[in-house]
Amino acid sequence: MRRKAVVFMVTIGMMLGVLGGCGDARNGDTGSGPGQPETGEENAGSGEAQDTGGKSELTLWLPPNGENEEEFWTEKLADFEAENNCEVHLEIIPWQNYEEKYLTGVNSSNGPDVGYMYMEMFYDYIEMGALTDFDSYFTQEEKENYLYYDMGHLVDGQYALPFVVGNARVIYGNMDILNEAGVTKMPETTEEFLEVCKAVKESNPEVYPFIDVWGAANYVVLNGGFWPFLWGAGGAIVDENGNMTLDSEAGLEAVEFLHTLYEEGYLPETVTSCDDSLTPFKNGEAAMFISGTVIPAELEGIRWDYSPVLQGSKAAETFVACDSLVLFESCKNKELAAKLMKYMTSTDVMTAWHKQVVQFPPINKDEEYVGDERFEVMYREYADHFKATPVFKGAGAIYDILYKNLQSMMMGDLTPKEVLEETTDYYNTNIK
């Protein structure tokens, strides 16, 4: 679900270009993606009534979350088109150039009417006025049936309709290894987590108590390996005004916790070179690791259990991905576009998508759960413990700096306090 994050920087000139282009008619081809309609006609793609039988047209951009993504949506969209006398031009955008495609498309007025964004993308588009606050198009009854509708309220409006909320980061444990160390259940608090690590180290020095991907090519490890500990300590990345709040007592508690894991030998000494935690766990080289809930199929043959969240000193929260549908301001028929968003996130369509394409958890209260049964209770009852990263200026850049500073701490180049100070200084000097 997630992909390699790209630091998303938009120049002032590009911003002005998008602002100037909002509301303009889209002309020309929108690209050659697999979902692009094979016609010789111009694709206005703005929801505007066209010459083809008076039908309205919408352009929809989606990523390839599953192998048969295009096939599934082509079939489902046909029903929507017939019911609403319209045409929906679907384009599947590869993850490799996902952000670049949106930037160039929107900047040239050839972007979609309805799109799909992950959290790191939102800030710049909201700032430039490219997204629509679509709250008024949804009834209270419709809003209440969504499990995560409120997670789509970003900055100052409802710019996101949560579409993929899942792959929550949890701690997996090899129960055979833990039992050998005298541990009978997964830890529920950060203190218990340290106790389990200590027991494993003393019981079997050849096994890593815990492993994580602190050598990954990007900052993905923060999602499970740092944010939950920060939130559990009562901390936040930024406040509601966009001010960096990492350099706080809670921030120091979280960084010192991570520092303890490394200094006590609970993490491998070479962890800053580790970009794969699954293989060591599967091979019995590590007792615990953090990953998303889409991973169980890879754990066949292992007697495992998991901790949904760890209770910190102040809270118990974990990261959850929240990718969303968005409505662009340049769309000429926002009512129809909002109707498309409702249709795509309806209970029947989502249940079918989760069965046929990819097993993400439900986003509707009346939707059937089709994922691993061991996580059903967590997704239905732990929603209040799920947290997505906030939308703020330069998020990707600051995550990258924090990640590198935490790596430097593990290599002995920075103290926990210096990690927070240098990260905050970079934000205040270069981003804020």
Segment 177-191, tens digit of pLDDT: 999 999 999 999 999
290: CATH: 3.40.190.10
144 class by beta-carbon count within 10 Å (0-12 exposed, 13-18 middle, 19+ buried): exposed
Residue 117 sits in the same domain as residue 176: no
What are the CA-CA distances from residue 340 to residues 70, 80, 154, 363 (Å)?
16, 8, 21, 16
Q: Does residue 357 belong to any structural domain of this protein? A: yes
- Per-residue pLDDT at 214 exceeds 60: yes
**Residue 353 within a domain:** yes
Q: How far apart are CA 290 and CA 309, in angstroms?
A: 11
Residue 284 burial by Cβ neighbours in a 10 Å radius (0-12, 13-18, 19+): middle
The conformation of residue 56, written as its DSSP 8-state character, comes to: E
State how many domains the chain has: 2
Instruction: With cut-offs at 50, 70 and 90, classify the pLDDT of residue 255.
Output: very high
Query: For residue 215, what pLDDT is reported?
Result: 96
Same domain as 122, residue 49: yes
Do 135 and 250 sit in the same domain of this protein? no
**pLDDT (average), residues 117-121:** 91
In a domain, 261, yes or no: yes
pLDDT for residue 297 is more than 70: yes
Mean pLDDT of the chain: 88
Asked if residue 300 and residue 358 are part of one domain, the reply reads: no
Residues 36, 152, single domain; the answer is yes
In this structure, what token pair is assigned to residue 315?
């809270």
What's the whole-number mean pLDDT along residues 6-22? 36
Task: Tell me the mean pLDDT in the region 378-384.
Answer: 85
Judged against a pLDDT cut of 50, whether residue 30 lies above it is answered with no
Q: To which H or E segment does residue 61 belong? A: strand 56-62
User: What are the start-end ranges of the E strands in 141-227?
Assistant: 153-154, 157-158, 161-166, 170-174, 208-211
CA distances to 66, 166, 328, 355, 363 from 72, in Å: 10, 20, 23, 11, 18
Residue 4 lies in a domain: no
Answer yes or no: do 16 and 147 share one domain.
Answer: yes
**Is 3 a member of any domain?**
no
**Residue-wise pLDDT tens digits, 59-107:** 999 999 988 999 999 999 999 999 999 999 999 999 988 999 999 999 9
Q: Is the residue at 7 inside a domain? A: no
With beta carbons less than 8 A apart as the criterion, state whether 8 and 68 touch.
no
Could you tell me the residue range of the domain that residue 124 belongs to?
12-167+321-387
At 386, which amino acid appears? F
The string of pLDDT tens digits covering residues 329-349 is 999 999 999 999 999 999 999
pLDDT score of 233 more than 80: yes
CA distances from 203 to 36, 105, 178, 279 (A): 58, 57, 9, 21
Q: Return the exposure string of 118-136: e unless at least 16 CB atoms fall within 10 Å of the residue's CB, then b.
A: bbbbbbbbbebebbbbbee
- Token pair of 3 as six digits: 């992909």
Whether residue 200 lies inside any domain: the answer is yes
pTM of the model: 0.78
pLDDT band at 26 (very low <50, low <70, confident <90, very high): very low
Residue 259 located in a structural domain? yes
Phi first, then psi: give them for residue 144, nearest 5 degrees.
-70, -20
Looking at the fold, whether 163 and 22 belong to one and the same domain comes out as yes
User: What pLDDT does residue 43 have?
Assistant: 38
Question: 24-33, 185-194, 249-258, 393-402: which range is least confident on average?
Answer: 24-33
Residue 289 and residue 369 share a domain:
no
Tell me, what DSSP letter sits at residue 364?
A: B
Can you tell me the mean pLDDT for 417-421? 98
Please give the Cα distance from 164 to 318 (Å, whole number).
16
Distance separating alpha carbons of residues 334 and 237, to the nearest angstrom: 34
Among the listed residues 379, 426, 417, the one whose alpha carbon sits nearest the alpha carbon of residue 147? 379
**Shared-domain flag, residues 144 and 40:** yes
Q: Which among 277, 160, 162, 163 has a CA at the least distance from the CA of 214?
A: 277
Convert the pLDDT of each residue in 355-375 to its tens digit. Answer: 999 888 999 999 989 888 899
Cβ neighbours of 85 (radius 10 Å)? 11
Shared domain for 179 and 252, answered yes or no, is yes
Are 380 and 411 in the same domain? no
**In the chain, % of residues over pLDDT 70:** 88
Task: Please check whether residues 286 and 336 belong to one and the same domain.
Answer: no
